Structure 1
Amino acid sequence: MLVTLKEILDTANKEKYGVGAFNTPNLEAVKAVIEAAEEVNSPVILQHAEVHESLISIEEIGPVMLDYARRASVPVAVHLDHGATFEMCVKAIRQGFTSVMYDASSKSYEENLAETKEIVRIAHAAGVSVEAEIGHIFTSEVGSGEGGQADSSEDYEDLEDVYTDPKVAKEFVKATGIDCLAIAFGTVHGMYVKKPKLDLARITAIKEQIDVPFVMHGGSGVSEENYKIAIKNGICKINYFTYMSKAGGEAIKEYIANKSIDTPLFFDQLSVAAYAGMKADVKQAIQIFRG
């Protein structure tokens, strides 16, 4: 059933569990996420990232995501991830997405606040939830799918300059009226090439200031133990894509390896293998997030 992001996350925030948010730039990914969620009877979030417009446009994949969400036996929100422009956010709202993320985190605080506030005004008028971001989330050079320049915690002398400040977060949420907040505490978009330095206590410090659902970006590669601590401390939405996509690729690699060299390969068979690999990975992730 198609629902808003706010409906899903308000319940998760109250009951202290995490909900997986999976980018789905193809039909195989959409099917894998929905079927995995149905098998474990968990709400789930389908996402289209603006950066994936180079793979498939929102006009093409959006109707597919919405159709699967409406027919699902579990609550499903359809979300625009990392919307970088007003135009993209409005396009998602008009198409029927039930939530949008407006990401102006790379701009000045004043610009981020003013622009996010306007998106909230537009989205809420249409019954659509809004996510925004305060702080800086690192980007790996390997498989991030997020664009931008690769960096890590080692590139900054003072992490207070890039991690989410609890008092600033409180001010931002109050001024904008957003439904959930993506916070920076050391996670990385893409593949982890080094063990992450997570400031899990920062989540609690922010939670003491504001009681809105928090979002973890760069969720792939975090240990099961750290997921559980992060969720206990206030994380409700976990963005997860890189390792899911990798699981699909590894399933194809295994399928090919088990074929003799003179056996023909068919794309539909590779598609099924990728779907199965992603579904297994998504199912495991959802089970970890639910605790």
Structure 2
Amino acid sequence: MPLVQMKDMLRHAYDNQYAVGAFDVVSLELLQGVIHAAEQCRAPVILGLAEPHLQHFDIELLAPAVEAAARRSSVPVAIHYDHGSGVEGAVNGVRHGCNGVMFDGSHMPLQENIETTKAVVAMAHGIGVPVEAELGYIPDNSDELVFTSVEEARGFVRLTGADFLAVSIGTVHGRLVGKPRLDFQRLKQINKALQIPLVLHGSSGLSDDHFRKLIASGIAKVNYFTAITDRVAELLRNNAKDADDNYLKLHSGVRESVEEEAGRLMRVWGSAGRAAEVMEQCQPWHGIEYMLKFNLPGVDAEEEELITRKGRKILMKIPGVREVMVGKAYNDSSSQRHCWQLRLASPAVAEILKRNHDFLGFSRRYLRDEATELTGAGYQQSKVA
């Protein structure tokens, strides 16, 4: 089953008063556990790659695994770039396969948050990617909570065009100390004012009843990380008590533990059993590959390499260009000696390429007229049984 449009997925959840779980993954064990849980529960799911976690794994290695798991899954999946720090982070997320991005400007003054969110939205919407923003401040236990204001939320969404809003209504990031004090009335007022899917961060430590009330008040996406990784850490500590355990035995049961807890939550949040209807309502998310074939007459090998480097650098700066592969014909009979294969996040990126000033200038200067109009062929990936 292909990746699906995250905006469609969360709109379905919002309209039908359930929530989709968004699980940040930092290892293959977490990834497999979450996907297996979603398939067992027949639930839509969001796989997250969080910018603050990038220090703990190589995104060049983990992101392809996340995308492969999503594309071969039997339930609808979206991939989300979580807690991004700006336009550059969002572009990086899309380049690595995310079809939804979050910009977290909650620590900024309101006007700066608005302006940066607008810039992220302009970039992302241009290539068909929805944006989650955050307003108010959801702290860890050491900072002071700043609740989301209803009036500020109304103006924020109107000015930025954000598709989803993470709201501060009493939760905290990380491990909850003490009992949660949730402002359900505030959440209901925000929901009434905005009528868009709302997002819950800092969900660790909440009860099943808390979740049900929050979802009934507009929460359509629940981010969940700390509690599930604490559960894994406890399992590892217990496994480590056996001094004879090797690495594989130490990690035994991790995937199953994640699967059990993620599946339980999917049932609590109401997403279990929704996969088929979500798939009917959601547009698939697919990239395209674009082939450019051309000649470089009168150019020696050194200049050819410089031209290739320059062109690739220009292309990789364009949001939504995921990869540029360059090659040459292996025999002399080919009418066009050079081929660039562009991997694009969405069909909209091909239209952006046709209007990109830097690439058009490069094409006219170095590639003559052959590539100026992007007269290559675009190919969309299809699934063959």
In 2, the alpha carbon distance for the partners of 1:122 and 1:271 equals 41
In the alignment, which of 216, 219, 233 is matched to residue 249 of structure 1? 233
Q: CA deviation at 1:108?
A: 1.2
Q: Greater CA deviation, 21-30 or 58-67?
A: 58-67
Quickly say closer, same or farther: Cα 1:199–1:120, change in 2 above 3 A: same
Identity %: 38
Unaligned segments of structure 2, at least 5 residues: 272-385
Q: What residue number does 2:77 align with?
A: 76
Q: Distance in 2 between matches of 1:170 and 1:218?
A: 22
Q: Which has the larger radius of gyration?
A: 2
The equivalent of 1:276 in structure 2 is 256
Letter in 2 for 1:271: H
User: Does residue 183 in structure 1 map to residue 163 in structure 2?
Assistant: no
Secondary structure of the 1:136 match is coil
Distance in 1 of aligned mates of 2:155 and 2:187 = 16
Task: Note the C-alpha offset of 1:85.
Answer: 2.8
Say which SS state the counterpart of residue 137 (structure 2) adopts.
coil
CA distance in 1, matches of 2:239, 2:106: 41
Secondary structure, aligned partner of 1:218: coil
The one-letter code matched in structure 1 to 2:83 is: H
Query: Does the Cα contact within 8 Å between 1:16 and 1:234 map onto a contact in 2?
Result: yes
- After TM superposition, the structure 1 stretch with the greater mean CA deviation from structure 2, 91-100 or 13-22, is 91-100
Query: 2-side partners of 1:59 and 1:256: how far apart?
Result: 30
> C-alpha distance in 2, partners of 1:29/1:152?
31
**Correspondences of 1:1-291 after superposition (within 5 Å):** 1-140=2-141, 150-153=142-145, 162-257=146-241, 259=242, 261=243, 264-290=244-270
Instruction: List gaps (5 residues or longer) in structure 1.
Output: 141-149, 154-161
Which 4+ residue blocks in structure 1 deviate beyond 6 angstroms?
Answer: none
**Residue 152 (structure 1) shift:** 4.8
- 2:14 aligned partner, one-letter code: N
Provide the C-alpha distance between the structure 1 equivalents of 2:143 and 2:58, rounded to a whole number of angstroms.
28
SS at match of 2:61: helix
The answer to whether the Cα contact below 8 Å between 1:79 and 1:97 also exists between their aligned partners in 2 is yes
The count of corresponding residues between Structure 1 and Structure 2 is 270
* Shift, 1:32, TM fit: 0.7
CA distance in 2, matches of 1:152, 1:282: 30
Using the TM superposition, give the Cα deviation of residue 104 of structure 1 relative to its aligned residue in structure 2, in angstroms: 1.1
Deviation at 1:4, TM superposition (A): 2.5
- Report the Cα distance in structure 1 between the residues aligned to 2:77 and 2:245, rounded to whole angstroms: 35
Counterparts of 1:99 and 1:58, CA distance in 2 = 16
What SS does the aligned partner of 1:189 have?
A: coil
- Which secondary structure does the structure 1 equivalent of 2:43 belong to? coil
CA distance in 2, matches of 1:200, 1:60: 41
d(CA) in 2 for partners of 1:224, 1:2: 29
CA distance in 1, matches of 2:208, 2:184: 13
C-alpha displacement of 1:69: 0.7
TM-score, normalization: structure 1? 0.89
For residues 252 and 10 of structure 2, what CA distance do their matches in structure 1 show? 32
Deviations, residues 26-71 of structure 1 (Å, cap 9, x unaligned): 1111101110011000001111111101101322221111111111
Aligned mates of 1:237, 1:229 — CA distance in 2: 14
TM-score when scaled to structure 2? 0.68
Check conservation: 2:42, 2:75, Cα contact below 8 A.
yes
Instruction: Letter of the 1:134 partner, please give it.
Output: L
Asked whether the equivalents of residues 138 and 186 of structure 1 are also in contact (C-alpha less than 8 Å), the reply is no
What amino acid does structure 1 have at the position aligned with 2:99?
A: T
Aligned mates of 2:144, 2:151 — CA distance in 1:
24
Alpha-carbon contact 2:78-2:99 (below 8 Å) kept: yes
Please give the alpha-carbon distance, in whole angstroms, between the structure 2 residues aligned to 1:174 and 1:250. 44
User: What is the identity, as a one-letter code, of the residue corresponding to 2:4?
Assistant: V
Q: Residue 269 of structure 1: CA displacement? A: 2.5
Helix, strand or coil for the counterpart of 2:194?
Answer: coil
Q: In structure 2, the residue corresponding to 1:74 is in which secondary structure?
A: coil
| Cα offsets for 1:168-220 (capped at 9, x unmatched) | 11111111111100000010111112111111111101011110000000011
**1:139-170 Cα shifts (integer Å, max 9, x gaps):** 13xxxxxxxxx2255xxxxxxxx101111111
* 1:128 aligned counterpart, secondary structure: coil
Alignment check: 8 A CA contact 2:80 2:100 kept: yes
2-structure distance, mates of 1:272, 1:122: 43
How far 1:253 moved relative to its partner?
Answer: 2.7
Query: Is the CA contact 1:49–1:81 (under 8 Å) kept in the aligned structure 2?
Result: yes
CA contact (8 A) 2:87 2:123 kept: no
Q: Matched residues in 1 for 2:122 and 2:87: separation?
A: 12
